[in-house]
Amino acid sequence: MCGIVGYVGRAEAAPILLDGLRRLEYRGYDSAGIAIVDGDHVETRKCAGRIADLSKLMAENPAAGHYGISHTRWATHGKPTDQNAHPHFDESGKLALVHNGVIENYQQIKETLLQEHEHHFASETDSEVLAHLVGQIYDDSAVGVLDPRRHKSLLVEALRTALQQVIGTYGIALCHSDIPDFIVGARRGSPLVLGVGKDENFLASDVSAIVAYTRDAVYLNDFDLVAVERDKFEISSLGGERGNHSISKVEFTAEDIKKGDYPHYMLKEIFEQPGSVRDAMRGRLSLEECTAKLGGLNMTAAQLRDVGRVVLTGCGTALHAGMVGEYLIEQLAQIPTEVEFASEFRHRNTPMTRDTLVFAISQSGETADTLGALRESQRKGYRTLGICNNVASTIARESDGGVYMHAGPEIGVAATKSFTSQVVILNLIGLLLGRMRHLSTAEGTRLIEALESLPEKIEEVLKLSDTIKGIATKYAEATGILFFGRQLNFPVALEAALKMKEITYLYAEGHPSAELKHGIIALVKPELPSVFIAPDDAVFSKNLNNIEQVRARKGPIIAVTTESGAVRLKGIADDIILVPDAHDIAMPILTVIPLQLFAYHLAVALGRDVDKPRNLAKSVTVE
């Protein structure tokens, strides 16, 4: 959700900033811009469109200089136009600022700047108002002969004073043409990381932007300000106290975020699932004790035994994983479990008992709604744990403990491998809580075996990619697609429909199979295929009834099923996607992967931009 990159060092800033923006493009891609200080003035290039458009602009009209800031945008206030693209400038034209987040009281600040200082605004954005406010405060204080040392601290103070007046969220980077080799950053609610190099330093929304240059990072906290020079940096709080932050090693390399031979990140990440699923359970299963070991939960055996209720919260794909988790935890541990939209949880009075354990599920660990839910739950005094992929993320850092996914960077905007990792982890949690109660060693062993056999079975599913491509191409003319499943496969239907909507832009919905006859059947027609997720399990014959109901109304049927299910569906389903047989708890992982591939191949057949679907951005850091 908007990406920021800043650089100060000895190298030319432009190629580093552009390279960083390309790596952050998944965060937003409706406009982009760069500001580089060249001697005594700021050179800026910005445009609506992708980073490729900005690169073209830079190639036609290069900007030279050794420090600067840049931005890739996902519009919140103001349409994606050249004018609204960041960086934005203050009234003097010397201060350039990029911003990720929302300034809620920008109208009020703008009014004051218009009335009291007759400022001129070039865009419709809240961010430009912030640039003007910081610039005005700085200009009021920075009178007299230019003294770089004094003016550096005046610029930091101006930002601090401005941010004290601001209501909202921000990740910010700014520079000023009067103050050489100096950039300033700040964060509240939108991530910002400092990359520490040799004779050069970086600011970025995400380490993936800078990992090619340095793996030493300082993750800023909310209300941190950072003054960055070539060979030093200084962190302070919004209140003015000096910060004391340690440098961490980024756990992945630039190699890990390359697309390799895959045409899209999404396909690469789908194919990474045998490994990511293995990594989600690595070292966490004990065959000896027939349970899971999750030390990161920071809970004693007695505390785990006393959990009386579980709340799982998240958004989008993470919420769907939570819905699988609800079935798993209730089935394995018999603990009443609720799934809450993170965006709703915070604003409603969810009944909680004293023994409620809350999990915030988030790949990025930065989703504003999920972070809000985590904070609200902690404010009420509940133990709130994170299930995150990004280890340095805000949710990972603020939660009372948790379980990392270890899925590696997920760049494709449509989440794939994070879903299967989340489902594995929820299985581990169900197993652990179950074994603290009545779950037998025999059943514990069966569950462990089911989980351990998953990577091999996923490999088998991935071999179906070409077959699935054929099926997807056959349905490229469809007006929409319905997905149906029961029990643990109902959330898979929701997730499959979400993938389909996101990357093909087709109408798609997921439903519990039995809901069909309560209304949805009115939609059934030859142009609208129905996908049934129907492995041969305890509810197979019920699914079969629903499949027959669709068939009787000439709706095309695609079935995701197991071998014995396929025998019974022969002559009934138009297309069959065969997945390996598995324990019920492992099935959602095996049934979702072919549907990720189905959405992917259909999107490619329709000529969609799979990794950058329209209107979307990964990591939604605004509400």
The residues assigned a catalytic role are 2, 618
Nearest CB to ligand F6R, comparing residues 235 and 413: 413
Closest alpha carbon to 368 in 161, 76, 124: 76
Considering the rule CB under 6 A, would residue 76 count as an interface residue with ligand F6R?
no
**Bridge partners of residue 236, in order along the sequence:** 225, 242
Among 329, 498, 547, 599, binds ligand F6R (CB under 6 A): 498
Nearest CB to ligand F6R, comparing residues 200 and 369: 369
Residue type, 352: M
Among 273, 364, 421, 596, binds ligand F6R (CB under 6 A): 364
Q: Which letter does DSSP use for residue 504 in this model?
A: H
Among 100, 127, 276, 363, binds ligand F6R (CB under 6 A): 363
Q: How many positions of this chain bind ligand F6R (CB under 6 A)?
A: 16
Could you tell me which stretch among 166-174, 230-238, 308-316, 557-565 binds ligand F6R (CB under 6 A)?
A: 308-316
Name the minimum Å distance from CB 160 to ligand F6R: 30
Instruction: Label residue 402 exposed, middle or buried (CB < 10 Å: 0-12, 13-18, 19+).
Output: buried
Could you tell me which stretch among 4-12, 98-106, 356-364, 512-520 binds ligand F6R (CB under 6 A)?
A: 356-364
Could you tell me which stretch among 80-88, 264-272, 363-371, 584-592 binds ligand F6R (CB under 6 A)?
A: 363-371
- Tell me if 472 sits within 8 A of 601, measured CB to CB: yes
Residue with the shortest CB distance to ligand F6R: 316
Measured from the Cβ of residue 103, the count of other Cβ atoms closer than 10 Å reads 27
Considering the rule CB under 6 A, would residue 318 count as an interface residue with ligand F6R?
yes
Among 90, 224, 326, 502, binds ligand F6R (CB under 6 A): 502
Considering the rule CB under 6 A, would residue 408 count as an interface residue with ligand F6R?
no
Q: Which residues contact 122 (CB under 8 A, 6 or more apart)?
A: 83, 88, 89, 128
Considering the rule CB under 6 A, would residue 25 count as an interface residue with ligand F6R?
no
Nearest CB to ligand F6R, comparing residues 174 and 428: 428
Determine the Cα–Cα distance for residues 502 and 413; give it in Å rounded to an integer: 9
Closest alpha carbon to 173 in 233, 124, 214, 114: 233
Nearest CB to ligand F6R, comparing residues 208 and 562: 208
Nearest CB to ligand F6R, comparing residues 201 and 362: 362
DSSP line for 472-490: HHHTTT-SEEEEEE-GGGH
Q: Is 309 helix (H, G, I), strand (E, B) or coil?
A: strand
Name the minimum Å distance from CB 460 to ligand F6R: 24
Among 13, 48, 217, 414, binds ligand F6R (CB under 6 A): 414
Per-residue binder mask for ligand F6R (CB under 6 A), 603-622, x = binder: ----------------xx--
Among 362, 384, 504, 543, binds ligand F6R (CB under 6 A): 362
Closest alpha carbon to 133 in 152, 101, 109, 97: 109
Determine the Cα–Cα distance for residues 251 and 237; give it in Å rounded to an integer: 27
Closest alpha carbon to 170 in 76, 35, 63: 76
- Tell me if 5 sits within 8 A of 26, measured CB to CB: no
Task: Determine the Cα angle at 202 with ends 201 and 205, to 5°.
Answer: 160
Among 415, 461, 603, 610, binds ligand F6R (CB under 6 A): 415
**Bridge partners of residue 403, in order along the sequence:** 387
Binding site for ligand F6R (CB under 6 A): 314-318, 362-364, 367, 370, 414-415, 498, 502, 619-620
